[in-house]
Amino acid sequence: MKKHVVLYKSLSPALRERLGEHAEITEITQLGGDGLARLRDALPHAHGLLGASLRLDAALLDLAPRLEAVASVSVGVDNYDLAYLDRRAILLSNTPDVLTETTADTGFALILGTARRVVELASMVRAGEWTRNVGPAQFGSDVHGKTLGIIGMGRIGEALAQRGHFGFGMPVIYHSRNPKPAVDARFNARHASLEQLLAEADFVCMTLPLTAATERMIGAREFALMKPSAIFVNIARGKVVDEAALIAALQSGQLHAAGLDVFEKEPLAADSPLLRLDNVVATPHIGSATVETREAMARCAVDNLIEALAGRRPANLVNPQAWAARGR
């Protein structure tokens, strides 16, 4: 008898068919409206869950006594209570690697778009306000040769460093828990304290995961350490930044500009002060949002779930403690 999977993320026909070969599927196309109620009704029968962007807390997962595995279509796992999953020996998998290059592309798009004021000036043209050659009031900032500071040197941080070093001749400095000699050698990069990086970097880019240690890692103190000409870019998670402090720094001119793909609360509220600032480029969490990458992420998640429900360790297991708890 096939195991039961609750799917709360749209899959391509080919991937849905592949999953259906291994499991019975209850599909919930939208979590809005009565979707969450339908999810609750389906959980008692679920052996597996596949989806993203839903906070799976104990109150929900207590409704799923048969649950064996959760396949998240994401790299970040801050929506999951790992301690709870470990206690119940529920395997959690994610989708690293496949979105690295696409997310780094997004980061560099924000660097370029913010430095060269692309959104602001394109809006001026669209509004019919381009009536003469641009002058100093519309000038942007160079990117080539400027110092790129990366906070969090994981896969995405390395991909960003590659673009900056090889593509734009940017000196690279980074802050992470430990130096990475291979990164230093490949990109002529330098490991630095957070304070050193903030003081030296022309572009400060966040690429680290959200954890208890990184939540609100960047606040008023950190913005005060940056150059007034610095540009801040966040492709990590919104909550690694104190958003109120970021707004204050941008409004006061303490910080030159920001390129943001993530926010404390998403979707970003229409009355957010960030949307009234010309020195902000804001995108709707599009880090991995390309046709090719989202399909690759979904394929990875499907493969992870099939393996887990077959009693095999998935390739992208997040919580090996749960696997150990099964006596494997």
Burial of 322 (C-beta count, 10 Å sphere; 0-12/13-18/19+): buried
| Model confidence, pTM | 0.94
Q: Alpha helix (H) ranges present in the chain? A: 13-20, 35-42, 58-61, 82-87, 100-115, 118-126, 155-162, 168, 181-187, 194-200, 220-225, 243-252, 291-309, 320-325
Phi-psi category of residue 320: left, alpha or beta, with phi > 0 → left and psi -120 to 50 → alpha: alpha
Peptide bond into 65 cis (omega under 30): no
Smallest Cα–Cα separation from 286: which of 110, 30, 71, 29? Answer: 110
Q: What is the pLDDT of residues 172-207, one digit of tens each?
A: 999 999 999 999 999 999 999 999 999 999 999 999
Catalytic residues: 237, 266, 285
Query: Domains of the chain by range and CATH?
Result: 3-96+291-325 (3.40.50.720), 100-282 (3.40.50.720)
In which residue ranges of the chain is pLDDT below 50? Answer: none
Read off φ and ψ for residue 322, nearest 5 degrees.
-65, -40
Rounded Cα distance, 70 and 93, in Å:
6
Q: What angle do CA 214, 296, 11 make, to 5 degrees?
A: 100
Please tell me what DSSP assigns to residue 80.
B
pLDDT for 328 = 66
